[in-house]
Structure 1
């Protein structure tokens, strides 16, 4: 027997501790990783003389180097310490109430992921909503290729209604995509669209690192009859660089997640042909969307996946948006009303099951 029926959850937000009223969410950050093994993006450093730094622990004397070459240090790419996560969340609680944790099924997820997240929520009383679904092709679990989208969709649906460990997912994502989409990623999107219809959940997308990637994904999901109004395109900052493309994406009526806030290094090692805008540039894009009537479609996050971005290691932490970025937004002319939409009202929309 299932723990929940779809009808039981309509109008609720499904956290790791169970369903809550959407009004209980409060200030919400919409894309984070509390535990993750992100070593699949590891690359040797550009200079051979730096190879010894790849196996060092993250520490003060290599932190400056790691901030630029963050995916060339293996220790940096592993968030697996419960006590560290607990202290970081205690700090977050001074500013916010809810976090969306989007570590997908596969090689990036720790074996006891759900139990660890539930324990953090119990210890801090922070609402944590976890995602179900599959990340990019090279992270997929062994069973993925052997099964079709219908079988895979049932796994996602079970994560909501009949979860292992009694710990439910509350959103589908992050669903990993490359550009162009691989056949496996198309199967993942199909499974996500099927699961969306059955669960009433939003789908949160990790697009490929190309300006055309979000549009390929949206067109594919339309063909699969997904509810595009409940699709979130993430990583806007490292994907969309022109105002014309930003306007085009906004016109698709998807939610847009500016979830790379706090990354201030213009060097972007995952795509040497592009760059990472600074937070001022990101806020300018956000302000442009607001001025053009899209304030109801913007979400915010940090997408923390490495040690160097945690406060313990000299980083900005999970509270950075609520502690720092909002102040900068207001000085740049964004109203408190629009800020509240991005951190309270819009998260409520995407996290409420329909």
Structure 2
């Protein structure tokens, strides 16, 4: 069974899965000054899109997905091509879990929730104060009882945030999450710091806490297009997540590859690693990524990326594994 915001569903009835999206979130804690003067109108508008492509974190409005009706309308564009999306907004990034059932109903798309703790600077005080045992208890409750403030359970734990070489407080949170997931058959998604190479140590820490490596999903692997590192991570037994559609930059803080760069790397790596396990996602987390504001939207994966991978000669069976069988293996508890 897969836990969704409208209740559990049979995994066998689910087709394509987009493994990483954000429907309602508030990442304004990540807001930073840009390298250009801030526009007089600090909202996301057509006139500000050029500014945001190079100063993506400079406008707090860009970092808030705060309109349930707009979220439903945008997600509805993916209905039919995608059966289920995973809503990955961690504590610390302003999740609005109670509003998600209404969005799922209005869009006609199953929504499953990942529940976890993002990086320390973003966390509210109550979450920062949890020790390893308290993290374990809290996350276990989201899996077996309900996500706080809702009537549904989490499908998986995550995204657990890490920074640099992963300080002790983050390692404790990872161990707490790993133990909770191991008790329930759930998986845990973890975002590695793209500037560090601590992934194998993270996996070892979680495996030591009782979670099999094949229940660990490393999100946003497109942020570190490093073939040797990818080989090491896959050798550790995990699944890697490749996301497409985030191309905005913030000088000195955030530098994303373009989708053509992602596609070139991924195509080459797939040929070199036929035994690897991947899932695919979109990771829309800024207003400028929504179609209303000129972005690619929640249907980018199925409208553009999957057809392009097919055009490049990727085996359709491998692609179906990435968007169906592997996501369902991770989500089915």
Matched with 1:246 is 230
TM-score, normalization by structure 2: 0.94
Matched with 2:63 is 77
Conservation of the 8 A alpha-carbon contact between 2:156 and 2:331: yes
Structure 1 runs not aligned, ≥5 long: 1-11
Q: Given the alignment of the two structures, is residue 231 of structure 1 paired with residue 216 of structure 2, yes or no?
A: yes
Q: Given the alignment of the two structures, is residue 142 of structure 1 paired with residue 99 of structure 2, yes or no?
A: no
Structure 1 CA distance for aligned equivalents of residues 239 and 4 of structure 2: 21
Conservation of the 8 A alpha-carbon contact between 2:56 and 2:250: no
Measured after TM superposition, the shift of residue 24 of structure 1 is 2.1
Q: Given the alignment of the two structures, is residue 129 of structure 1 paired with residue 109 of structure 2, yes or no?
A: no
Counterpart among 219, 241, 245 of residue 204 in structure 2: 219
Q: Given the alignment of the two structures, is residue 178 of structure 1 paired with residue 163 of structure 2, yes or no?
A: yes
Conservation of the 8 A alpha-carbon contact between 2:162 and 2:191: yes
Matched with 2:79 is 93
Matched position secondary structure for 1:105:
coil
CA change 1:149–1:133 in 2 (3 A) is same
Structure 1 CA distance for aligned equivalents of residues 276 and 14 of structure 2: 17
Counterpart among 6, 15, 19 of residue 4 in structure 2: 15
Conservation of the 8 A alpha-carbon contact between 1:13 and 1:351: yes
Matched with 1:159 is 142
Structure 2 CA distance for aligned equivalents of residues 31 and 293 of structure 1: 23
Q: 4+ residue runs of structure 1 moved beyond 6 angstroms?
A: none
Matched with 1:337 is 317
Matched with 1:199 is 184
Counterpart among 8, 12, 22 of residue 33 in structure 1: 22
Matched position secondary structure for 1:143:
helix
Structure 2 CA distance for aligned equivalents of residues 270 and 334 of structure 1: 35
Measured after TM superposition, the shift of residue 220 of structure 1 is 2.0
Matched with 1:3 is none
CA change 1:64–1:333 in 2 (3 A) is same
**Deviations, residues 136-164 of structure 1 (Å, cap 9, x unaligned):** 11122312343321222111111122114
Structure 2 CA distance for aligned equivalents of residues 215 and 285 of structure 1: 21
User: What count of residue pairs does the alignment treat as equivalent?
Assistant: 331
The Cα RMSD (Å) is 1.8
TM-score, normalization by structure 1: 0.88
Structure 2 runs not aligned, ≥5 long: none
Matched with 2:330 is 350
CA change 1:149–1:318 in 2 (3 A) is same
Structure 2 CA distance for aligned equivalents of residues 208 and 228 of structure 1: 19
Measured after TM superposition, the shift of residue 343 of structure 1 is 0.9
Moved more, 136-145 or 285-294: 285-294
Matched with 1:8 is none
CA change 1:211–1:237 in 2 (3 A) is farther
Structure 2 CA distance for aligned equivalents of residues 61 and 46 of structure 1: 17
**Deviations, residues 243-299 of structure 1 (Å, cap 9, x unaligned):** 22222222111100012x01335x454646xx4222222223322343234465111
Matched position secondary structure for 2:262:
helix
